Amino acid sequence: MRAISQTIAISQTRDLHEIFHSGELSAQKRFNKRKKWNENAIAGLNKMFKEAIDDETAYFIEGQKFFFISTADNKGECDCSFRGIEESESEHQPQSVFVPNSKTLIFPDYAGNNIYNSLGNIMVNPQIGLLFIDFHSALRLRINGGAKIIEDKNSYINLWPKALRYIEVDVKQVYYNCSKRIKESVKI
């Protein structure tokens, strides 16, 4: 595993409209008993909703054997897919994701069912969501950003010799999510 080695500067305090989109704010107003976010809560949200991957998070991501991605087509119709490691005959088992810097992550695309749901969606709508779950530590991490397809098979052949292409994600939002119900859902 390889973690990034750069220090992430703490971003300036963002207001709620920079953290949440209008639908989230409307839902909060409609369904949340709390009337307003106070200053302490907003400071906590700024710490929770990061705009870059720090070293600890990079280490967590690169240590996961699988994750889920969510993409949508140009009409907003969604698709969710599982991504995991491709077993290798060598002693070295590849990682599922590589984090080259605080704003980028890359994962391989292997041969599949030839339907190309995720790749087709990325071609018409680059928005992507990734969900990492570690059932043993009950951690859940979400990353949102923009994706692009890297078609040069040799770009990361040293990491993923069996990959046909790669997906590069420009990270926009990083946050650990509530771990409630993870241990209740899976017996470890």
**pLDDT at residue number 18:** 86
Residue 149 tokens read as 């397809």
**pLDDT at residue number 181:** 63
Q: Dihedral of the CA atoms 57, 62, 67, 68 (nearest 10)?
A: 70
- Predicted confidence band at 8 (pLDDT cuts at 50, 70, 90)? very low
- Predicted confidence band at 7 (pLDDT cuts at 50, 70, 90)? very low
Instruction: Tell me the domain boundaries of the chain.
Output: 16-48, 55-185
- Predicted confidence band at 182 (pLDDT cuts at 50, 70, 90)? low
Across the chain, mean pLDDT equals 87
pLDDT at 9 over 60: no
User: Who has greater pLDDT, 131 or 44?
Assistant: 131
DSSP 71: E
Ramachandran assignment for 19, one of left (phi > 0), alpha (psi -120 to 50 degrees), beta (any other): alpha
Burial class (CB in 10 A: 0-12, 13-18, 19+), 99: buried
The pTM of the full predicted model, rounded to 2 decimals, is 0.85
Query: Which of 41-50, 65-74, 80-89 is the most confident on average?
Result: 65-74
User: Who has greater pLDDT, 79 or 87?
Assistant: 79
Percent of the chain topping pLDDT 70:
84
User: Who has greater pLDDT, 16 or 59?
Assistant: 59
Residue range 69-86, pLDDT digits in tens: 999 999 999 999 999 987
Superfamily of domain 55-185 in CATH is Electron Transport, Fmn-binding Protein; Chain A (2.30.110.10)
CA of residue 102 relative to chain centroid, distance: 12
